[in-house]
Amino acid sequence: MNSVEDIISQVSSLPLLPDTALKLMNVMNDPQSTIDNIVDSVKYDQAITGEVLRICNSAYFGVSRKVTSLNDAMLCLGTVKVLQLVMAVHTNSMLSREQVGYGLEPGVLWKHSVAVALASSLAAQRLKIPDANLAFTAGLLHDIGKVILNEHVAKEFAEIVRRVTDDHISFGEAESQVLGYSHEEVGGMIAEKWRLPEPIIRCIRYHHDPGSLDPPDTLVDAVYLANCVCLLLGVGLGEDGLFYRADQSLMERHQLHEHDLELIGAQMMTDLQRVAELFADGTSASLAHEPAHR
Amino acid sequence: MSKEVVRAMDQVVDIADLQVSAAPGVVLVTYSLGSCIGVSIWDPEVRVGGMLHYMLPDSSLSPAKAETNPAMFADTGIPNLFRTAFKLGAVKKRMIVKIAGGSQLLDDKGTFNIGKRNYIMLRKIFWKNGVLIDAEDVGGSVSRTMRLDVRSGLVTLRNRGREVEL
């Protein structure tokens, strides 16, 4: 089987996103949703309910009284924050494995994904996107294609790197040439299979190439910027390094300066450190440190 | 491929972090330097080593963040690194200084030039303070891992699975 057929069959056999996550994303996406709708979408999932309560009662939120129910949690902490954390917990199992092809140790892709999610929210605010909630989820899932493409990249790594070096193309372009698909294309296929909201599919598919969308999509721009900032600052940087294209026109379109990127980066890092504390004592995962065996 | 083996005495310097040590056998290590810059200093006389991994050039971006975490910025992190090493007996004029990082995206127009700005700020600070750079590996688009062996002063750089002396 060649890599193209292999990748397609792997996408189709990938398990669906857990029901709860999908429901959550849809209620988050709907401005009409009430707290009751949101609670309804998660309350039958014991694992998530437990995780939400654990997170809400952690030092991170500093709530003085004990949060004992989902309703309580939503009222106390704001629905968005809770939902974002739930999504982060949810993607952990998918994204935490080692990605040998990209030189990412266990946990590092997830850390990168959470960092990009946080930075996407910040970028969405800076770009004045009215519904910034989607940006977090889109950021969190932007690299999902790497989970499948990883083993193919590992096999063809030398050839991909040769093309990146000799032909001065981006890592994604080299993936596409050598394997038939780039990780963002595979990510787009997965997102479609999962029936994610259309704006999120676009963010995943075009997170390295926002300039190919006509008209431009501001949410994609936000995720693109967030990813650039996190890569530049080395959060979850793999063997693909910074071999991705910078998009000048996007900066001009939004009248952004270096300063804006640096502010997003500094705030993202502060937020990431706080979120890391949140997961440090948990059973779910640790964002606190680089893996010990690196 | 890029598998990095556990090493007994590795002491990790995180992003926006600095560590100084005089303990023989300790190896200071910082991972995934992109546009950030890793600064390694070592005094051969007292065998004190230090490493900084700073993110951004200028603390005026956010004085509050610089206050909480000086290692985030070049202009607060670099003086801090040297001062911390002085406390352990290191002396500026003996210091061997090596730097790495400052990578960029593929960018003809220099739009996202945090790496370059990080490097320029470092040169400025070093020039003002009479600090010379003994070795450097900056720029390009690779991700780098930097190690400093506190006993021997050996600095190595690793990218794409190859480790070389700096």
User: A154-186, pLDDT tens digit by residue?
Assistant: 999 999 999 998 998 999 999 999 999 999 999
Q: Is the pLDDT of residue A69 over 70?
A: yes
* Distance (Å, whole) CA B75 – CA B60: 9
**A-chain residue closest to B68, CA distance:** A270
Q: What is the mean pLDDT of residues A76-80?
A: 72
- Indicate the SS3 state at residue B59: helix
CB pair distance less than 8 Å for A258 and B142:
no
**Greatest CA span in chain B, whole angstroms?**
45
Between A256 and A291, residue with greater pLDDT: A256
Q: What's the helix, strand, coil split of chain B in %, to 5? A: 25, 35, 40
Handedness of CA A26, A30, A32, A33 (dihedral sign): positive
Active-site residue flag, B36 = yes
Q: Is the pLDDT of residue A48 over 80?
A: no
Give the count of beta carbons closer than 10 Å to the beta carbon of residue A128.
Answer: 9
Render pLDDT for A224-237 as a digit per residue (tens, 0 to 9).
Answer: 999 999 999 999 88
pLDDT of residue B164: 92
Structure tokens at B54: 């700073």
Give the global pTM.
Answer: 0.88
CB pair distance less than 8 Å for A234 and B6:
no
Residue A47 lies in a domain: yes
Residue A291 lies in a domain: no
- With cut-offs at 50, 70 and 90, classify the pLDDT of residue A123: very high
Provide CB contacts within 8 A for A23, sequence distance 6+. A41, A42
Q: What Cα–Cα distance (Å) separates residue A177 from each residue in A3, A169, B116? A: 11, 10, 30
pLDDT of residue B143: 93
Indicate which residue of B20, B29, B36, B122 is catalytic: B36
Structure tokens at A123: 């970028």
* Residue of B65, B72, B160 lying closest to A161 (CB–CB): B160
* Residue of B6, B111, B117 lying closest to A248 (CB–CB): B111
* Distance (Å, whole) CA A207 – CA A73: 33
pLDDT of residue A282: 47
Give the count of beta carbons closer than 10 Å to the beta carbon of residue A158.
Answer: 10
Residue A244 lies in a domain: yes
Which domain range does residue A130 map to? 3-280
Do residues A193 and A100 touch, judged by C-beta distance below 8 A?
no
Q: Which residues does chain B have with pLDDT short of 70?
A: 1-8
**B-chain residue closest to A155, CA distance:** B1
CB pair distance less than 8 Å for A266 and B105:
no
Q: Give me the number of domains chain A comprises.
A: 1
pLDDT of residue B5: 52
- With cut-offs at 50, 70 and 90, classify the pLDDT of residue A245: very high
Residue A285 lies in a domain: no
Residue A147 lies in a domain: yes
Residue A249's domain is classified under what CATH number?
1.10.3210.10
Residue A294 lies in a domain: no
For all residues of chain A together, what is the average pLDDT? 84
Which residues of chain B make contact with A242, given a CB cutoff of 8 A? 34-35, 103-106, 141-143
* Distance (Å, whole) CA B69 – CA A272: 14
pLDDT more than 90, % of chain B: 85
Q: Is the pLDDT of residue A125 over 50?
A: yes
* Residue of B12, B56, B161 lying closest to A265 (CB–CB): B56
Residue A292 lies in a domain: no
pLDDT of residue B95: 96
Which domains, from first to last, does chain B contain? 10-153 (3.30.1330.200)
pLDDT more than 70, % of chain A: 90
Tell me the Cα Rg of chain B.
15
Residue A293 lies in a domain: no
Q: Is the pLDDT of residue A286 over 50?
A: no
Q: What is the mean pLDDT of residues A229-250?
A: 91
Between A281 and B117, residue with greater pLDDT: B117
